[in-house]
Amino acid sequence: MDHASEVAEDYVEAIDDAIADRGVCRAVDLVSHFSVTHATVNNTIGRLQRDGLVVTEPYQPISLTTKGK
């Protein structure tokens, strides 16, 4: 459970940094940042979305919710 929380925190921080740097965060940014596969990013983003930390739609940027910020 601690690892999952740590991963979620890392992703939320990376999303926030990407938005601050480029104005947008896409899954490919996270693939590059973490050196993982698209499937790994998609699974993690799905968990973050389920937990109410991010919002996204297929082929759309990833945004943080108020809870995610």
Note the pLDDT tens digit of each residue in 22-32: 999 999 999 99
Buried residues in 51-67 as b, exposed as e (16+ CB within 10 A) = eebbebeeeebbebeee
Question: Residue 51 pLDDT > 80, yes or no?
Answer: yes
What are the backbone dihedrals phi and psi of residue 62, each rounded to the nearest 5 degrees, phi first? Answer: -100, 130
What are the backbone dihedrals phi and psi of residue 64, each rounded to the nearest 5 degrees, phi first? Answer: -85, 140
Given this model, what pLDDT does residue 31 score? 98
For residue 23, give the DSSP letter.
Answer: S
For residue 66, give the DSSP letter.
Answer: T
Q: Span 30-49, mean pLDDT?
A: 97
Given this model, what pLDDT does residue 1 score? 63
